[in-house]
A and B are shown apart, each in its own frame.
Chain A
């Protein structure tokens, strides 16, 4: 139930003449995870694609080029197109489409090229427009050299000193220069230019005033801009007209090509084919029935084995990162998380796919993650908006990332509201009932509560206050840590028993369960000794029990894991203490909320007048900040407790995801 679905390995053997139909049936079943044929078996060779593959791929290629030319993008379409229509029309449609768009696309391309050409020459001309020298005057001298380019400093003074015959033109900012110098002295002049940081800009081709040339280019660009817009519009019209059919055809052809290439994953002889595949146990009968009905005697299904949870690969290799994908013959993992647990599967996938022989941790995340989140927030004022936001997100969002965040907010919000109501009794960092001393000046308590703010006596809700019962909440969170980690170890023990047998599980997990139990007894003892200062000695039964558990526990862990277990021991302690972050984050949020409440309600609001608006503004902005902080800190720390503390106790991961043959159609429907 909690383990991934039981898999069965089957062998499908059949006549090659009916391979295509068999492939269609397999795709339609959506329950067959094929195993790629390894071409090592004697007498078999790797299959070759069905004859339709090459024609369809060619069509697909052409279609995709049309798609690119027309800039068609994936988007939801109002109606779906029949596959029969696609099949009968796509061949001719591609030819007519290509002819229809060729003109528009070509003219667009031509205009585009001309525009970038012109823009280039304009860029080259631009520096020369700053000098009033015609372009043809830069060239064609017998005894003069011309240098044009950018300088860092003005070279005129240096040139005057060293060179006799030269003329220099400078732009108004002095950065762009054109130097005309006698050939005999050009080497000297060039040297001076170089010392002033000269970078040459070649003289562009052309005649006459460069400013005129730029004007001419600008007017041509304007005209081209119009024709480009025309071309783009024409293409947009074509796109609108054809995109539904193009998207549908592309989808259908991709599916057909994928199906036609399926034989590459199968083995064949001259007249028959074989396909190895994994099928979920519960779909096996359905697969057999479908093939028998459709194919009769031509295709035979042989059940080879039911996949065992046990792994033959050495556990150390698994930890060293050997993924299932590299181990031939390992069954795929099909986790069967239903709503609402399935909403959380993204969190598991973020770490890794569970192995075939281990419990899918999604269910634990689904239970305890919102619980931790709610404990950390623990406030009706934030909880209810979380629920609303989460519900909105679940309704609107489509990407898995946002859906996951919405899931966290929705379920976390429910717990936050429940804890806020029954455990902490607070909204926006303030309790409901009267607190503090009650006297003539403070008829509704000296402390800031909803009662004192609204000047009415409200019932007191909850048992704890995040800021005054810190010690107790810390203590509770440590116990939450013990419980959560114990759950982790128990699952770990179950997984190890399934995958490597009880002996392995005993040495790798049971020792740790004993150590954890000992820790719990010792915690009770230590709290009495150090914090409550009770007169208890080492003959206390909890101490004795703790020692009696921890010593054999360490011994078992040492036998199982060796010296590494000694290093893990303090890590386990820090894991338990790590859960106190639940208290710490709740407390810090309550603290920030309290600060804003005091500033807004006790300090500013009593001044009256316009300042009441300021107080409301501070209240709103402050709580919005706490609200956002709550999402970030409670969310991240909540999931972290699962990833770092809990998962390390049992989760190995690296499984192969169940990936059956299936077809997803967005733009087409089959008859």
Chain B
């Protein structure tokens, strides 16, 4: 049982951690481009923000998975 719980915990950690890394990698380029666009015209702020946070959903998926795993522990 202890080993099982440990494996689940590792799985949950991986789900959140890797998803977070993925979001970060995706967001970094978008964020840089968005800042460029905002520097050119401040009206782009809203669009820039939307574009930047789109990949953020991935980490929420990871988090939901982690929570579901954690509940099973």
Contacts and interface: CB of A to CB of B under 8 A. Distances in A.
Interface stretch (A144-152, A275-283, A574-582): A574-582
A350 B49 CA distance: 10
Interface string A464-493: 000000110010000000000000000000
A213 interface: no
B46 A644 contact: no
Interface string A559-572: 00000000000000
B53 A640 contact: yes
A350 B57 contact: no
A578 B57 contact: yes
B67 interface: yes
A571 to B, nearest CB: 9
Contacts of B61: 574, 577
**B interface majority secondary structure:** helix
A470 B71 contact: yes
A220 B56 CA distance: 64
A351 interface: yes
A644 B64 contact: no
A577 B60 contact: yes
Interface string A37-78: 000000000000000000000000000000000000000000
B64 to A, nearest CB: 5
Contact of B60 (A350, A352, A471, A584): A584
Contact of A471 (B45, B49, B71): B71
A643 interface: yes
B39 to A, nearest CB: 16
Contact of A577 (B49, B57, B70, B71): B57
Interface secondary structure of A, over-half rule: helix
A351 B50 CA distance: 9
Contacts of B45: 350
Contacts of A575: 57
Nearest to B72: A531
B28 interface: no
Contacts of A647: 50
Given A350-B45, A350-B46, A644 B60 contact: no
Given A471-B71, A474-B67, A643 B60 contact: no
Contacts of B70: 470
Interface residues of B, number: 17
A580 B57 CA distance: 10
Interface in A562-618: 574-575, 577-578, 580-581, 584, 587
B71 to A, nearest CB: 5
Given A578-B57, A578-B60, A584-B60, A351 B47 contact: yes
A471 B46 CA distance: 33
Nearest to B16: A584
B50 A643 contact: yes
B49 A640 contact: yes
Contact of A584 (B47, B50, B53, B63): B63
Interface string A257-287: 0000000000000000000000000000000
A276 B57 CA distance: 48
B50 A644 contact: yes
Contact of A581 (B49, B60, B71): B60
B18 interface: no
B60 to A, nearest CB: 5
Contacts of A351: 46-47, 50
Residue in A470, A471, A531, A578 whose Cβ sees the most chain B Cβ within 10 Å: A578
B67 A470 contact: yes
Contacts of B25: none
A640 B52 CA distance: 10
B54 A644 contact: yes
Q: Which of B45, B46, B71: most chain A CB closer than 10 A? A: B46
Interface in A272-327: none
A568 to B, nearest CB: 13
A644 B63 contact: no
Interface in A533-581: 574-575, 577-578, 580-581
A470 B63 CA distance: 12
B53 A644 contact: yes
Contacts of A643: 46, 49-50
Nearest to A578: B57
Contacts of A578: 57, 60
B20 to A, nearest CB: 12
B64 A474 contact: yes
Interface in B16-40: none
A47 B70 CA distance: 74
Contacts of A350: 45-46
Interface in A508-538: 531
Contacts of A580: 60, 63-64
30 contacts: A350-B45, A350-B46, A351-B46, A352-B46, A470-B67, A470-B70, A470-B71, A471-B71, A474-B64, A531-B68, A574-B57, A574-B61, A575-B57, A577-B57, A577-B64, A578-B57, A578-B60, A580-B63, A580-B64, A581-B60, A581-B63, A584-B60, A584-B67, A587-B67, A640-B53, A643-B49, A643-B50, A644-B50, A644-B54, A647-B50
Given A581-B63, A643-B46, 4 more contacts: A350-B45, A351-B46, A578-B57, A584-B63
| A-B pairs with lowest CB-CB distance, top 9 | A351-B46, A350-B46, A574-B57, A584-B63, A578-B57, A581-B60, A644-B50, A640-B53, A643-B50
Interface of B: 45-47, 49-50, 53-54, 56-57, 60-61, 63-64, 67-68, 70-71
